[in-house]
Amino acid sequence: MDEALLLRQLHRGDERAFAQLVSHYRAMVLNLAARMTGRPDGAEDLAQEVFLRVWKALPKFRGECKLSTWIYRITINLCIAEGKSARGRAAHIPLDDPSLFSMPQVRSGEANDYAEEVVLKARMGPLIAQMPDHYRTAISLYYLKDLSYQEIADIMSVPMGTVKSYLFRGKAWLRDRLLGREPDREGLT
C-alpha cells in the first residue's frame, strides 16, 4: 500500500481510499483492542469507534508519523478510556481463543513443558488486563505486536527510555502477580 498516495486520496475525502484504509488496518485494530481491553467480544465496537475517529481527524493528520502509528495511538487512547469507564467489570478472556495460545505440534517429551506454558498463558491473560494502562500498552505492543522500542515510543508519545522502563516494570509487575505477591517496589503500581 502506497501510504503517501492513500493520504492524498483521504485528504480529498475519497471514501474508497478510506474503505481501503479500514480493510488494511482492521485486523490490527481488532487484535489490539481485544488484547488491551481484555474483551474480545467488544473489539468490533471499539474498532468502529476507532475508524470513526480516524475519519473525523483525517483533515488534521499531517503525516508527521506513519499512518499505522497514528491509528495505533487512537486505538490505545480509546482502549484506555474504555478501560477506565469499565473499571470493576471482570475481564473476559476465553481460554479457547486461538489468538491467545499458539498450538504447535508437541512431541511426547515436551508435553510437560507445553502444558506449563498453556497454564502460564491462561494466567497471564487476565493479569495483563489488570495491569496499569502504560505497562499493558507497552507489553502488548512489544510482545504481542512485535513493535520496536522506537515504534512504541512514537505510539505512546514518550521517550524510548520510558518504553524500556515500562517494559521492565511491567514484567516485574506480572512476575510478582504470578508468584502471588503484591509488588512492593516503589513505582510498580
pLDDT at 16 exceeding the cut of 70? yes
- Does pLDDT of 166 surpass 70? yes
What string of DSSP letters covers 101-137? S------GGGHHHHHHHHHHHHHHHHHHHHS-HHHHH
Residue-range domains of the chain with CATH: 1-92 (1.10.1740.10)
From 181, 82, 80, select the one nearest 134 (Cα to Cα). Answer: 80
Give the whole-angstrom CA distance, residue 101 versus residue 103: 6
Which carries the bigger pLDDT value, residue 33 or residue 90?
Answer: 33
Please give the Cα distance from 110 to 100 (Å, whole number).
Answer: 20
Would the pTM count as exceeding 0.85? no
Q: Is the pLDDT of residue 93 over 50?
A: no
Distance CA 17, CA 14 (A): 5
Summarize pLDDT for 30-81 with one digit per residue, the tens.
988 888 877 788 889 999 999 999 999 988 888 788 888 899 999 988 988 8
What pLDDT band is residue 113 in, cutting at 50, 70 and 90?
Answer: low
Sign of CA dihedral 16, 19, 23, 28: positive
